[in-house]
Structure 1
Amino acid sequence: MDAVLLAELIAFNGIETTFNDAWGQPCQVSEPDQLALLSAMGYPVQDEAACRQELLQRQLDYWQQLIAPVSVQQQDELGWQLEVMVPLALANTDFTLTLTTEQGATQQWPLLPVDGELTQVVVLDGEEYQQYLHHIAYPLTAGYHQLELRCSGTDLLVNQQLIISPGHCYQPAEFSQRKQWGSAIQLYALRSERNWGIGDFSDLQALIRYLAKQGADFIGLNPIHALYPALADNASPYSPSSRRWLNIIYLDVTATPGFNDNAALQAHLKQPAVQQAIVAARQQDWVDYPAVMALKLPALKLCYQWFIDNKAAQPELAAAFDAFKAAGGNSLAQLALYDALHAWLYQQDSQYWGWPNWPEQYRDPDSDAVQQFAAEHAAELDFYIYLQFLAQQQLSEAQQLATAQGMLLGLYRDLAVGVSEASTEIWGNPELYCRDASVGAPPDPLGPTGQNWGLPPMKPFQLYQQGYQPFIELLRANMQHAGALRIDHVMALLRLWWVPKTAANAGSGAYVYYPIMDLLGILALESQRQQVVVIGEDLGTVPEGIRELLQQFGIYSYRVFFFETAPDGGYISPAHYPLQAMATLSTHDLPTLIGFWHCEDLKLGQQLGLYRDEGQLQQLYQQRHANKQRILDSLHGHGRLPADYPRSVDQLAMDRTLNFAMQQHLAAGAQQLLCLQIEDWLEMTQPVNVPGTSNEYPNWRRKLSQPLEQWTQEPHIAALLQQLTALRRQ
């Protein structure tokens, strides 16, 4: 391709062709990989003339707007700014600018484009376009305001949402008084003597009561986004169907309204076959998602039928459901439609895994066939809406309990970086996503050959054209019933690694940039409004200056002990961690402490074929041995181990003394927030997820080794947690 045209395409689409990898080495994106990515973005790269025309059309789409559909600016006592883009013929034309504030107040100004500061000039298709910057000396409060620009004497009218950001995320006043700690859990992994084979919202309440008593301030959850009730085995919480709604598999049937009065449900549950199936699911060491869903859906349908039959006798419940339904709007109705239609089609043919391979007439939610289905199955759609209502209720009750029990933050939720290709989010808004590419990561320590997550990325310009509304709605939904929110792969606010579907491997991609300042501004605004602390998972390849920018916006860094190393290879003392951070020993993508110490992850990786060759594996073993010695040296240096404890890792297995010493070492750190895993309190070895695998390992299924009722009675665990509380409050 012509070099000038390629450079224009790369610049216009925000593609980065050179970057530093996770080891600090410069990397170059090859021209074939650049062209593959442009092709995925919809450019006919094999035809230069057609490619030029496509680029021109997209440039005109931008320049012919007059004003942008959305503008995000920081609150300023001097006012705000407006960029106006006009063809030369309109540069001296009179306009009227009308502001309507979020509070409903209005203000008007006459506006002549040339009175502003000329900031850019382009010539497209023989016509000149000019951009002028106007300073409006009218201070605004943080919020969502509306602008209308009208060309005098004509019907030409354009609108903009003006978002004024406070510029800083929420931080509780209590943070200045003491430091906090909590635990991260995979909710599905909780065992109990009462659940139906998967951790549920009632198990979460039991855990809240226990941890609050030990002094914990929060409980971190895996993403609890809506998955696929019709295809329950698609269990990855990071490949959801909708990030705005909840996974109904976490519902506790026994905590639903009218449970004790529901004669049909009680009769159903007394059947020996049902009782046996519940016990069997509960006894499994790995969550059997299809079995659990097969237990819960029939029971929940009886719950819904009780609600329908008793609406008149339950006016408060009925009113709450109606209000929830109205507030959920099109997004909730679309999720229910998707779930009902998916179940209906999947019953007919198990090959119908998602909307991309459904019969053609069902691939558009607005099609006549889909609308006819919705009309004919209205009760089924209402059933799925009711399940979302129940899930929101049970989650809300958990957060209310956490607050009542004295937890400062309560629930700490997790927002996944994307949705799967079969998702209802893409079904309902396909123009927002690039389905010919996937989000992933270049080679790094977590994935030596790169990662392809199978998640179509949002198109930056489409997100902008939609006024960032999908992003705003995501934040609002996930900040509900929570005191903190983790943004998975927070670098996505700046850039995402796009891997074209045609790529030979995950390394054959490139970074695509996003409007980070706009997205950070919105994040700060929603954080303040919802009073939710934001933690940014800033692992992997982090460009220079980005952690400082995130800090400036009040976002808490995410520091994993094993990754916090000094130039000499030693581990940085947690006493030197930044205050504005959450620290953790391990994550759902890493081995447990015992798994790390005994190299169980390396043995498993070898079995699964994750390493290039024996040489790479041996190098990892040698590095692990050296790392273990450095950890042991550090623990002794900080006085976390008894003086007579071994000082050499040779032949040293991890015991409880060493395990707990590592947790206490991190608890004494300088960071504001500490997050630890229950797996390490239970001294477990198996990981919950192995990055870079799909069917090779049963990811997202491993349960905890003991039920809640058992391990919460263990004196040594209670003693550890009380020590963590004491160390955090020093």
Structure 2
Amino acid sequence: MSFKVDNPKFAPVGVADTYTDAYGKTHLVDMAVKKQLLTMMATNGCEKAPLPSVRVFRQGKAALIPLSGDGEFGWTLMYENGGQVQGSITGGSELLLPDALPLGYHELILMRGEQRWTCRVIVAPQRGYEPEPLTQGKRWWGVNVQLYTLRSQDNWGIGDFGDLRQLVEQVARRGGAFIGVNPLHALYPADPEAASPYSPSSRHWLNIIYINVNRIDDFQQSKEAQAWWRRDDTQRQLAALRAGRWVDYSGVMAQKLAALRLAYDYFKTRSVLDPRVSACRQFVVSCGQSLQRQATFDALQTWLKRQGENYGDWQQWPTCYHDVHGDTVKAFCQENEHEIAFYCWLQWVASEQLAECFAHSKQLGMPIGLYRDMAVGVAQGGAETWDERRLYCLDAAIGAPPDPLGPQGQNWSLPPMNPHVMQAQGYQPFIDVLRSNMAHCGALRIDHVMGLLRLWWIPKAEPATRGAYVHYPLDDLLAVLALESQRQRCLVVGEDLGTVPAEIVDKLRDSGVYSYKVLFFEQDEHHHFRAPLDYPRQSMATITTHDLPTLRGFWQNVDLSLGKELGLYPDERTLQQQIEQRDNAKQGLLDALHQYQLLPQRVGRNAALTAMGTQLSRGVQRYMADSRSALLGLQLEDWLDMATPVNIPGTTREYPNWRRKLSRTVTSIFSDRHLERLIRDLDLRRGLALPPETASGASER
């Protein structure tokens, strides 16, 4: 369930003195913790300017910018798309910019004598992008999948962009509107076992392990690559990787890199006038420094691994490699130009294949196509923090204070962005990460969307309970999000689970951000489940997520049994409380399914005596299909009646997280006639017109 906590007004950027927990109790923040966090956030050495570094306005609102200082100033407003307007003003007053400013990123220049100061002026729409059919009451469905879990007869032991293309075809053929995937962010080619998609090296680039090697023209054309491919030992190794229950990341990466190097060797023999060479060169030039830094990181990490150095986290590298601008790193770049170019080429290939999948989905008539996922942060020792040292506070990590789902609190080991630096840089870091993740998709899920308002910062070496909320410029970030959403024509879904201040729900809704409604949480304290017609229209509904049990796992308490085995509960009493809560929730869900006549009468009414079977599973999915939510995301695991989870929060090495594959191949999943009947039923239900919203149904919370 979502834990709604009232918060009468939004705090300014900075560290909060108090916080209200999920139980409604107010806590004072330890002053020593607050002092630590304020010290981390301090930006020293900046001369006080007479105007702010950035101001954000919604279109149609008066654009007033306060000026400090004394005396007369001249000013020029440079429009993003050309043109300018000028004037003069006295310090200590407010500058009123012209009416009807166009949407976009403009630059205000303030001048006095030889002195110049600049302010980025951002003008944003009231709401983000929303496909017109959804505003007219259409309800779409799609499939959510962890890409690496896909099986096929062709992949190399991990789901790849070729499997994604197959899944697009299967779902489009049956009326689906989208395929939702896990974060595709760059991880670590040199350290493939660091496989969590939510702890990426960088959110700007892609995970090259998803490349479909067989589809690369250079691999097909290379005699050396094809000879390698036909070898018996190659085929045996790939068959073993393909057959495994769990993804063997090290094995898959070793095979793919071996093949990709052979393909790249052939690519280098192409003429400079070859269209593929031109396309790659244009990609590298347009991506600029960010791509070069990512490729350098990957090449350097691989080189350090070969030298026997600590390579997993750049903070553990030899000190001379810590400074991305230092002489040692520059020398490495000069000596390893070919290797860095190889990793740039890999990013181009990955981007090209993802773009092809999205284009194919649109050609097949999917109104959204691909629905991507953006993690809330990046790993401490990855490429992004190595490159953007000033932006990230590396002596802190984000997480969550204690709540019913995490009694000891949570530490996600992700360093937070410094909100003061974000502002000083005109929100460019936020803009860049949005653009990277809105590429090649029709919708984007933002993990832990409350991070736009506040994040729970935990100082290094402190437990998760000794943290504090750091507030971010919510209104500005929502405005930038709306502008980028409109420009990229990308619908935004905000994962708003957990402790949610009530008023952020209103702000998200008013900005056009869709809420995220998970069936298992949509119940009150008496375990009465939300009626389908009471789900808010502006939302995505789903039965479960990657952090929660599958439908069968939920019904059979598989997650609770695993939690007991792995020692996740502090005592037996806590476990028994969880079991009792689950039993009550199952009964409440069964009662709801009968209440709305979604189960045959022969299905029992006592949850303790009712097994998860075809009828019950179908009833739950019909329940969600009947929801008023504009979007419905269904999991392949539930269609396959799988019980084991893909991830158990709170574990690292105790359970093989992010490795469990699906039980059947993509094509065989859709050859099941019972599943065909279910999909037709769900598709018909989503296409039915709903009655007008009632007072209860109109609630968007």
Asked whether the two chains share a fold, i.e. TM above 0.5, the reply is yes
Matching residue of 1:437: 396
Query: Which residue of 2 is the match for residue 75 of structure 1?
Result: 59
1:569, distance to aligned residue in structure 2 (A): 2.9
d(CA) in 2 for partners of 1:630, 1:207: 34
Cα deviation 1:201-241 (Å, max 9, x = unaligned): 00000000000111110011100000000101100001101
Residue type of the alignment partner of 2:252? V
User: Cα distance, 1:13 vs. partner?
Assistant: 6.3
2:634 maps to 1:676:
yes
Aligned with residue 278 of structure 1, among 216, 232, 238:
238
Distance 1:583 1:444 in 2: 23
1:332 is matched with which residue: 287, 291, 302? 291
Deviations 1:640-671 (A, max 9, x none): 00012101112322111101110110110111
The share of aligned pairs that are identical, in percent, is 45
Matched residue SS, 2:500: coil
Distance 2:99 2:491 in 1: 30
Q: Distance in 1 between matches of 2:36 and 2:322?
A: 26
Residue 604 of structure 1: aligned partner: 562
> 1:80·1:139 contact (CA, 8 Å) conserved in 2?
no
Q: What secondary structure sits across from 2:390 in the alignment?
A: helix
Aligned: 1:485 with 2:439: no
Deviations 1:325-363 (A, max 9, x none): 111100001001110011000111253212101111111
- Secondary structure in 2 matching 1:675: strand
The reply on whether 1:145 has 2:123 as its aligned counterpart is no
Q: CA deviation at 1:174?
A: 1.4
Instruction: Mark the runs of 5 or more structure 1 residues left unpaired by the alignment.
Output: 1-10, 43-54, 117-132
The match for 1:633 among 591, 614, 627 is 591
Aligned pair 1:364/2:348, yes or no? no
Return the match for 2:516 from 551, 558, 563. 558
5+ unaligned residues in a row in structure 2: which ranges? 1-10, 689-701
Query: Structure with the greater relative contact order (CA < 8 A, sep ≥ 6): 1 or 2?
Result: 2
1:230 counterpart SS class = coil
Q: Is the Cα–Cα contact under 8 Å of residues 13 and 472 in structure 2 kept in the other structure?
A: no
SS at match of 1:145: strand
Q: Please provide the CA RMSD for this pair.
A: 1.5
Partners of 1:257 and 1:617 in 2: how far apart? 54
- In the superposition, relative to structure 1, how do residues 24 and 213 fare at CA in structure 2: closer, same or farther (>3 Å)? farther
Task: Give the counterpart letter for 1:69 in structure 2.
Answer: S
- Structure 1 counterpart of 2:168, one-letter code: I
Does the 8 Å CA contact 2:137/2:630 hold for their aligned counterparts? no
**Contact 1:447 1:691 survives alignment (8 Å):** no
1:532 equivalent in alignment to 2:490: yes
SS at match of 1:431: coil
The answer to whether the Cα contact below 8 Å between 1:22 and 1:541 also exists between their aligned partners in 2 is: yes
Amino acid at match of 2:63: W
Letter matched to residue 592 of structure 1: T
**Counterpart residue number, 1:119:** none
1:427-471 alpha-carbon deviations (Å, 9 max, x no partner): 011011111110101122332221101000011101111111111
Aligned length: 677
Superposed, 1:512-531 pairs within 5 Å as: 512-531=470-489
Aligned partner (choices 165, 181, 185) of residue 145 of structure 2:
185
| Residue 334 of structure 2 is aligned to residue 375 of structure 1 | yes
> Aligned equivalents of 2:460 and 2:163: distance in 1?
41
Q: Which residues of 2 match residues 190-229 of structure 1 at below 5 A?
A: 190-229=150-189
Report the CA distance between 1:271 and its aligned residue: 1.7
State the partner residue of 2:696.
none
Other-structure match for 2:95:
134
- Deviation readout 1:156-202 (Å, 9 max, x if unpaired): 10111111001210011111151111111000000111100000000
2:467 to 509, 520, 535: 509
Q: Is the contact between residue 635 and residue 661 of structure 1 (CA under 8 Å) also seen in structure 2?
A: yes
Q: What is the aligned partner in structure 1 of residue 86 from structure 2?
A: 108
Name the CA shift for 1:106/1:38 in 2 (closer, same or farther; >3 Å): closer
Compute the displacement of 1:255 (Å). 0.6
Q: SS in structure 1 opposite 2:430?
A: helix
Cα distance in 1 between the residues matched to 2:588 and 2:13 = 45
Q: What's the CA shift for 1:245?
A: 0.5
Shift in CA distance, 716/333, structure 1 to aligned 2, threshold 3 Å? same
Give 3-state SS (helix, strand or coil) of 1:107's partner: strand
- Are 1:79 and 1:140, in contact at CA under 8 Å, matched by a contact in 2? no
Query: Deviation at 1:558?
Result: 0.4
Q: Which residue of 1 aligns with 2:268?
A: 308
Q: Which residue of 1 aligns with 2:373?
A: 414
Q: C-alpha offsets along residues 258-307 of structure 1, whole Å, 9 cap, x if unaligned?
A: 33321110011112221111111111111110100000001001111111
Deviations 1:545-584 (A, max 9, x none): 1101100000000011111123533111121011101111
Question: Paired residue for 1:293, among 253, 275, 288?
Answer: 253
Partner-residue secondary structure (3-state), 2:502: coil
C-alpha contact 2:219 2:262 (8 A) present in aligned 1: no
Separation in 2 of the partners of 1:471 and 1:650? 48
- For 1:610 and 1:655, locate their aligned partners in 2 and report how far apart those are by CA, in whole Å: 29
Equivalent-residue separation in structure 2 for 1:645 and 1:12 (angstroms): 54
Q: Structure 1: how far apart are the matches of 2:72 and 2:35?
A: 44
Counterpart amino acid of residue 34 in structure 1 = K
